[in-house]
Amino acid sequence: MRTIDLSPLYRSFIGSDHLASMIDAAARNEKQSSYPPYNIELLGEDKYRITMAIAGFGQNDVDIEVQENTLKVTGKRKSPEGKEKTFLHKGISEKNFERKFQLGDHVKVLNADMENGLLNIDLERVIPEAMKPRKIEIGSKLIENP
């Protein structure tokens, strides 16, 4: 794996330690397995959908959790009761999984649903009014609330 030198960022960005931790987290996510396959779709400005192909999993087999800026989707199949199945060909993977997604700042999970073996997770980036750019007129005084 290639090492990235972030020292030039430290000279021009304040708080770039947050950026460095995001890059580290992204590097860790690259080590995930490719199962289950997924798409990330742009639905509109600041609206996204993650679609995961999880054939064989039911709603009770899947957990979705958001902690800080990480979305974690975990699938654990319950062992079938009774007789073991004998397959002549097994092409549908039913193995347990854990998939993590790094969310950008202010990205919120709106909802999740399952249909036809696909898990859809809808997300939206909502920037707080205080974080949006605002124009400052030259010669005006900015009054902060105490």
Least confident span in 33-47, 64-78, 122-136 = 122-136
Of the candidates 135, 73, 145, which has an alpha carbon nearest to the alpha carbon of residue 102?
A: 73
Region 71-98 average pLDDT: 84
Asked whether residue 141 is assigned to any structural domain, the reply reads: no
In tens, the pLDDT along 108-133 reads 999 999 999 999 999 999 888 887 78
Query: Which segment of 20-24, 90-94, 137-141 scores lowest on mean pLDDT?
Result: 20-24
- Confirm if 90 and 72 have CB atoms less than 8 A apart: no
In a domain, 145, yes or no: no
91-94 contacts at long range (C-beta below 8 A, 24 or more positions apart): 92/55, 92/56, 93/35, 93/36, 94/55, 94/56, 94/57
Most confident region among 87-101, 103-117, 130-144 by mean pLDDT: 103-117
**Mean pLDDT, residues 14-18:** 49
Tell me, what's the pLDDT at 53? 94
Whether 15 and 43 map to the same domain: the answer is no
Three-state DSSP state, 11: helix
pLDDT band for position 16 (50/70/90)? very low
Query: What's the number of domains the chain is made of?
Result: 2
Is 5's pLDDT higher than 60?
Answer: yes
* Confidence band of 136 (pLDDT split at 50, 70, 90): confident
State whether 104 and 64 are in the same domain.
yes
- Sorted by sequence, the CB contacts under 8 Å of residue 57 that are 6+ apart come out as 75, 77, 94, 117, 119
Residue 72 lies in a domain: yes
What's the whole-number mean pLDDT along residues 97-106? 90
Instruction: Identify the pLDDT of residue 110.
Output: 95
Distance from the first to the final alpha carbon of the chain: 49
Structure tokens at 61: 């087999």
Q: Would you say residue 115 lies in a domain?
A: yes
Record the tokens describing residue 71, joined without a space.
């979305």
Which range marks the domain in which residue 116 is found? 34-80+90-129
The tokens for 131 are 């974080």
